[in-house]
Amino acid sequence: MHQEYGGVVPELASRDHIRRTIPLLRKALSESGRSLDRIDAVAYTQGPGLAGALLVGAAFAEGLAMALGVPTIPVHHLEGHLLSPLLSRRPPTFPFIALLVSGGHSQLMRVTGVGQYALLGETLDDAAGEAFDKTAKLLGLPYPGGPALSALAEHGRPDMCKFPRPMLNSGDLDFSFSGLKTAVLTHVRELGEPDEQQRADIARGFQDAIVEVLVKKSMRAIKSSGLRQLVVAGGVGANRELRRQLDERAGRAKITVYYPEFEFCTDNGAMIALAGALRFQAGVSLKPAGAFAVRPRWPLAELMG
7-40 pLDDT, tens digit each = 889 999 999 999 999 999 999 999 999 999 999 9
Is residue 83 in a domain?
A: no
Looking at the structure, do residues 128 and 236 belong to the same domain, yes or no? yes
Looking at the structure, do residues 199 and 69 belong to the same domain, yes or no? no
pLDDT at 199: 97
Helix/strand/coil for 107: strand
> What pTM was computed for the model?
0.91
Residue 90 has pLDDT above 60, yes or no: yes
Is residue 141 in a domain?
A: yes
Give CA–CA dist 115/212, Å, rounded: 30
Residue-range definition of the domain harbouring residue 7 = 3-77+267-303
Question: Rounded to the nearest 10 degrees, what angle do helices 178-191 and 196-225 cross at?
Answer: 160
Is residue 151 in a domain?
A: yes
Looking at the structure, do residues 112 and 208 belong to the same domain, yes or no? yes
pLDDT above 90 covers what percent of the chain? 81
| Averaged pLDDT of the chain | 93
Contact, 151 vs 143, CB < 8 A? no
The residue among 255 and 235 whose pLDDT is bigger is 255
Residue 305 has pLDDT above 70, yes or no: no
Is residue 84 in a domain?
A: no
Helix/strand/coil for 155: coil
91-95, 263-267, 281-285 — most confident range: 91-95
Q: How many domains does the chain have?
A: 2
Looking at the structure, do residues 136 and 254 belong to the same domain, yes or no? yes
Looking at the structure, do residues 119 and 227 belong to the same domain, yes or no? yes
Residue 221 has pLDDT above 90, yes or no: yes
Looking at the structure, do residues 161 and 281 belong to the same domain, yes or no? no
Is residue 58 in a domain?
A: yes
pLDDT at 235: 87
Is residue 94 in a domain?
A: yes
Looking at the structure, do residues 253 and 125 belong to the same domain, yes or no? yes
Looking at the structure, do residues 235 and 296 belong to the same domain, yes or no? no
91-110 pLDDT, tens digit each = 999 999 999 998 778 999 99
Mean pLDDT for the stretch of residues 61-71: 97
Q: What is the 3-state secondary structure (H, E, C) of 37-75?
A: HHCCCEEEEEECCCHHHHHHHHHHHHHHHHHHCCCEEEE
Looking at the structure, do residues 110 and 252 belong to the same domain, yes or no? yes
Is residue 232 in a domain?
A: yes
Q: Which residues contact 139 (CB under 8 A, 6 or more apart)?
A: 149, 152, 188, 194, 199, 202, 203
Looking at the structure, do residues 251 and 284 belong to the same domain, yes or no? no
Give, in order, the Cα–Cα distances in Å from 92 to each of 68, 79, 260: 34, 15, 10
73-83 pLDDT, tens digit each = 999 999 999 99
CATH number for position 44: 3.30.420.40
Looking at the structure, do residues 106 and 206 belong to the same domain, yes or no? yes
pLDDT at 24: 95
pLDDT at 130: 87
